Amino acid sequence: MIPDWLTTLAAAGSAALVNAASTDVWQTARERFLRLLGRGDPARTETAARRLDALRRSAEEPGNERALAEARSAWRQRLSDLLEEHPEAAAELRSAIAELPPPRAARVPSVAQENHASGHGTVNAVVNGDQTNIRTAPEAGGG
């Protein structure tokens, strides 16, 4: 069983790698991860190269959020397997992550909302999420 901290490290490595696939640091990231994943074995290195190149192609496609989410999951599992088999690779993975730019935050669209009520009117508004309104009858003589 892989310790929790290695699972967390694999998730961080996956996020950093997938993020780097669409940036100008890709070639550097690719080389680092080839060494990490290949572990000096030509067959493993070739398999890693094919997978990394497929990731790059996927990252370059417009509107690919679902594919990138799937890639993060797949790479998290690959890195978890690697760390389970080679726990000594943790330091190398940490170093590779540190060299890459931090993952970009999701772009949240800007929303402007203006609401007005007059007289005895009520405004209920929500931009994202849920809203529950429970109306009660006014107290007798109070309103």
pLDDT tens per residue, range 64-116: 888 999 999 999 999 999 999 999 999 999 999 999 877 665 444 556 778 88
Query: Does 52 reside within a domain?
Result: yes
Residue 138 counted as domain residue: no
135 is a domain residue: no
* pLDDT > 70 fraction of the chain, expressed in percent and rounded: 85
Tell me, what's the pLDDT at 113?
76
Domain presence at residue 142: no
Structural domains counted in the chain = 1
Looking up tokens 């109070």 gives: 142
**Domain extent for 64:** 4-99
Let me know the angle formed at the C-alpha of 82 by 80 and 84, rounded to the nearest 5 degrees: 70
**For residue 73, is it within any domain?**
yes
Residue 64 forms part of a structural domain: yes
Is 47 inside any structural domain?
yes
pTM of the model: 0.69
Residue 112 lies in a domain: no
